[in-house]
Amino acid sequence: MRERQRGRTVLESSTEMLEVVLPNDANPLGNILGGKVMHLIDIAGAVAAHRHSRRHVVTVAVDSLDFMYPIRVGQIILLRAHVTRAFNTSMEVEVNVFLEDFISGERRQTSSAFVTYVAVDEHGQPTPVPPLIPRTADERRRYREALERRRRRLALAGRAHRKFRTHSKP
């Protein structure tokens, strides 16, 4: 039997990442490509999942993703990622994307995504992750809501919703 792992708070793995949008990342209209945003979402989310689990992680599912506003060449793309809940070997990470304009200082949210990562061992096999300890009211709400999202996600993928350990009572 594996030793029960120490829980980690949301803050311990929260990740912020930013990049300036360059012409190479853009379509002919001068807006960042959706695929580039998806790439950055995956990286920011994976860093949060790595920090939480201290394991290699692989992306297993991305929920629906909308692009609400264009981010233009010369603007900053800012990504914030935090783990919302850890299950057995998988973790749900919320990644919020913002644009920031150097000149006006305007910042607005352009996308939000829930990405599921699985921690794997050196053979690529799923391995247990530490529990998440939600502290604030928002973290506890996201923690509760993550369960329903997991149910829907697994049902869509045609997979049974496996039981998992309950680590805390948020």
Q: What is the Cα–Cα distance from 74 to 134, expressed in whole angstroms? A: 36
| The one among 33, 38, 43, 61 contacting ligand COA by CB under 6 A | 61
> What minimum distance in Å lies between the beta carbon of 30 and ligand COA?
29
CB of 69 to ligand COA, least distance (A): 27
Give all strands (DSSP E) within 39-106, no chain letters. Answer: 56-62, 76-86, 90-100
Which residue, 88 or 96, has its beta carbon nearer to ligand COA?
88
Report the residue from 126, 140, 145, 149 that binds ligand COA according to the rule CB under 6 A: 126
Using CB under 6 A as the binding rule, whether residue 116 contacts ligand COA is answered as yes
Beta strands 107-120; 90-100: pairing state:
antiparallel
User: Of 20, 31, 119, 113, which is closest to residue 66 (Cα–Cα)?
Assistant: 113
Q: Does residue 90 touch ligand COA according to CB under 6 A?
A: yes
Q: Among 5, 67, 164, 170, indicate the residue that binds ligand COA (CB under 6 A).
A: 164
Q: Give CB contacts under 8 A, 24+ apart, made by 157-163.
A: 157/61, 162/88
CA-based nearest residue to 86, from 123, 121, 127, 125: 127
Interacting residues toward ligand COA by CB under 6 A: 58-61, 87-90, 116, 118, 120, 126, 153-154, 157, 159, 162, 164
